[in-house]
Chain A
Amino acid sequence: MIYPDSKTILEVRNLCASVEGTPILKNMNFTVKSGEIHAIMGLNGSGKSTFSKVLAGHPDYEITSGTVIFEGKNLLEMEPEERARAGLFLAFQYPIEIPGVGNSQFLRLMYNTVQTHRGKEELDPLEFDDFVREKMKLLEMREDFLDRSVNAGFSGGEKKRNEILQMAMLEPSLAILDETDSGLDIDALRIVAQGVNQLANKDNAIIMVTHYQRLLNYIVPDFVHVMVDGRIIKSGGKELALELESRGYNWVSDEYKAASRVAA
């Protein structure tokens, strides 16, 4: 939702990033204000997943130029764990499996670490158990989930729900959902979307990175951006997603190239 008195949460200016010397992001510009839901769409290899990982501070990517200001702070100077503690959350496209580490143990360490850094009280194991079970209801998760190892042997849907559960627990000011709809059946998609919608409010913001329009039927974006070759080349409202769905991506590129020629 677009609010009149919103504040800027994320300001990306001329961001360039490369992996092993190959440029992926090329002058990326992007602004997110509180209360907003953005969708970044694009084909495989357009750089949209790279953008998510760069924001979260993945060590494989090298920032070659540009700035990123997150809630007034220089994001690029922060370690990945500091970004997380400051309220930036990434729901992974492929949540990693951690065999041997119990979910409840992991979630409690995660929650208490972040709480402590935010100057809030930790929860003891019993309080935490009540807290996490309440959040689990939101995502219709099975009771035995807590006793299992983190993501180990989870179905695609369970992994994605686990991501949104963590988002619900941490209440980030900026959540980036990287291809959260991939690998989800329609029921799981509905549950995940419902969870995200309940978490969205006027103080936080959400960036959805996705291939398909499908997710946007459930989580309605305020803005849709088209990413091609490492930059955003077109932005619009939610109707842009529908247009992409029916017409594909080529016309956006063609339009952009034509515009670039005119400008030159």
Chain B
Amino acid sequence: MSAALQNIINQPYKHGFVSDIESDVAAKGLDESTIRMISAKRGEPEWLLDFRLKSFEAWLKMTEPTWQNAHYPKIDFQAISYYSAPKQKPKLKSMDEVDPELLRTFEKLGVPLHERMALAGVAVDVIFDSVSVATTYKAKLAEVGVIFCSFSEAVKDYPELVQKYLGTVIPSGDNFYAALNSAVFTDGSFCFIPKGVKCPMDLSTYFRINTEESGQFERTLIVAEEGASVSYLEGCTAPAFSSNQLHAAVVELVALDNADIKYSTVQNWYAGDENGVGGVYNFVTKRGLAKGVNSRISWTQVETGSAITWKYPSVVLLGDNSVGEFYSVALTNHYQQADTGTKMIHIGKNTRSTIVSKGISAGKSNNSYRGLVKIAPSASGARNYSQCDSMLIGQDSGAHTFPYIDVRNNTAKVEHEASTSKIGEDQMFYFAQRGIDAEAAVSMIINGFCKDVFQQLPLEFAVEATNLLSFKLEGSVG
């Protein structure tokens, strides 16, 4: 039975291929002139160049963090190319104008874009190596006043909105990788839901890294005005390169009074091979500011890829009665390392947060939950509930939990629950004795384990996530 389980665990990366699209790649290295070059290439206004330069200056003074529970060789930031754009017409009006090779790439991923859009009614802002090549459903969204476009378009068309909110949740000098991103980001998504508007469809972005050794520095900014609501989906996958790729994205969310933002991620970047060679370094800063009263920000993530995942989607609960949520499934296999969790910073009165984290470790991987619950002196009546469950598969994987709790208000209520379980031979034998093979058994156990998180995903994504675990884990649990 062990052999069967091993086979399941060791299924090769399904999305491993390189699509052959000509790229415009900058020379490796980073200094002030690189930043000026990126800004000039994108035709940016002066204030944005200033933002970049200020961030770069901050970054130069910072040191690379080493506190995370992950081990990897030191990154040479001068060996990275900071700009890569597919060579094609910058403006596309319809899908017909998109490079057919690009469309084939999406089809290989099992994400036929037009079908996806038609069936699901999802507007997909396609990001392909840092530049948006197709933006769809824009007209329909425009009818209700929703702005959903690439970050560079937003800078051109809505500069005052971008300037008003950029860096307000994650300041340029926030941390090493956020500062780096702020200096060199190339593109990303911008989403603005005006006052009182419920976004009529889920907004979705597919990210994909395509050029070997080109760092990806995506920037996402989502603003929901008073009473607005939106559900945003982010899905990622990357081709199987042998050298590591750095990905340092920044995502900022702002929710004003009574606004509601739900941000869901399925991440399946190349994790390296079974010997731990290659794979993406996923060092991401994601933070939401629940600024207004009764506002709500909810993060849901399913992290299955990357050699190293290092991210803490957080919520700053500033508005009274605001709500923050974090639902996470992190799966690691082979030599993958994940150090992920959240921060819930309670500042407003009667603020509430919920954390549900499910870590699954297989192979020789290491999976850590790291979370901070902070209750400020002003946060009277604040409540937090945290639940961190780990599941171990096999003998050589590790699961760790690092909860930090900092309570400065004695009316607050903070609960933390944790559990560790193991898929053992005896469980597998029980399934087998009932006629159920190892693969179906693993899939059922894992889906049961992750149920609380999957329930939070939009239906479309829930199916995708289940399938994803069913080939990485179906193939991945023993």
Contact = CB atoms under 8 A, between A and B. Distances in A.
A85 B435 contact: yes
Interface string A88-120: 011010011011111001100110011001000
Given A110-B435, A166-B434, A80 B448 contact: no
B432 A99 contact: no
A149 B440 CA distance: 17
B430 interface: yes
Given A96-B427, A100-B451, A149-B448, A80 B1 contact: yes
A57 B433 CA distance: 8
A98 B433 contact: no
A257 interface: no
Contacts of A98: 427, 430, 445, 448
Interface in A144-189: 149, 166, 170
Contact-residue size bin, chain A (C-beta under 8 Å from the other chain): 20 to 34
B445 A101 contact: yes
A167 to B, nearest CB: 10
B435 A102 contact: no
Interface in A51-93: 56-60, 79-81, 83-85, 89-90, 92
B426 A96 contact: yes
A98 B441 CA distance: 11
A81 B434 CA distance: 7
A110 B432 CA distance: 9
Contacts of B448: 98-102, 105, 149
A158 B271 CA distance: 43
A90 B429 CA distance: 11
Nearest to A100: B448
Interface string A126-137: 000000000000
Interface in B414-456: 421, 425-427, 429-437, 440, 444-445, 448-449, 451
A84 B444 contact: no
Nearest to A169: B434
Nearest to A94: B426
Given A99-B448, A100-B448, A113-B440, A80 B432 contact: yes
A92 B430 contact: yes
Contacts of A90: 433
A249 B445 CA distance: 43
Interface in B239-264: none
Contacts of B440: 109, 113
Nearest to B427: A96
Contact of B432 (A79, A92, A101): A79
A116 to B, nearest CB: 9
Given A59-B2, A100-B451, A114 B435 contact: yes
A83 B429 CA distance: 12
Contact of A80 (B2, B421, B429, B449): B429
A79 B429 CA distance: 11
B433 A99 contact: no
Contact-residue size bin, chain B (C-beta under 8 Å from the other chain): 20 to 34
Interface in A221-242: none
Nearest to B449: A100
A106 B435 contact: no
A81 B437 contact: yes
Contacts of B444: 101, 105-106, 109
B131 to A, nearest CB: 42
Interface string B1-15: 110000000000000
Contacts of A57: 432-433
Given A98-B448, A99-B421, A100-B448, A110 B427 contact: no
A95 B436 contact: no
Contact of B436 (A81, A83, A100, A149): A81
Interface in A29-61: 56-60
A58 B429 CA distance: 7
B455 to A, nearest CB: 12
Interface in B1-47: 1-2
Nearest to B391: A100
A109 B448 CA distance: 14
Contacts of A84: 432-435
A60 B425 contact: yes
Contacts of B435: 81, 84-85, 110, 113-114, 117, 170
Contacts of B433: 56-57, 80-81, 83-84, 89-90, 92
Given A81-B435, A110-B435, A96 B421 contact: no
A207 B421 CA distance: 33
Nearest to A59: B1
Contacts of B430: 92, 95-96, 98
A165 B445 CA distance: 21
Contacts of B425: 59-60
A110 B434 contact: yes
A170 B430 CA distance: 15
A207 to B, nearest CB: 15
Nearest to B430: A96
Nearest to B448: A100
A113 B1 CA distance: 18
Contacts of A110: 434-436
Contacts of A113: 434-437, 440
A215 to B, nearest CB: 21
A75 to B, nearest CB: 13
Interface centre among A56, A59, A60, A105 (most CB of B within 10 A): A59
A90 B435 CA distance: 11
Contacts of A166: 434
B432 A100 contact: no
A99 B427 CA distance: 11
A149 B427 CA distance: 13
Contacts of B421: 99
Contacts of B429: 56, 58-59, 80
Q: Can you list the 3 inter-chain pairs with the closest CB atoms, starting with the nearest?
A: A100-B448, A80-B432, A101-B448
17 contacts: A81-B431, A81-B435, A81-B437, A84-B434, A85-B435, A92-B430, A96-B427, A98-B430, A99-B421, A101-B444, A101-B445, A101-B448, A105-B444, A106-B434, A113-B435, A113-B436, A166-B434
Given A56-B433, A98-B448, 5 more contacts: A84-B433, A84-B435, A99-B421, A100-B445, A105-B444
Interface of A: 56-60, 79-81, 83-85, 89-90, 92, 95-96, 98-102, 105-106, 109-110, 113-114, 117, 149, 166, 170
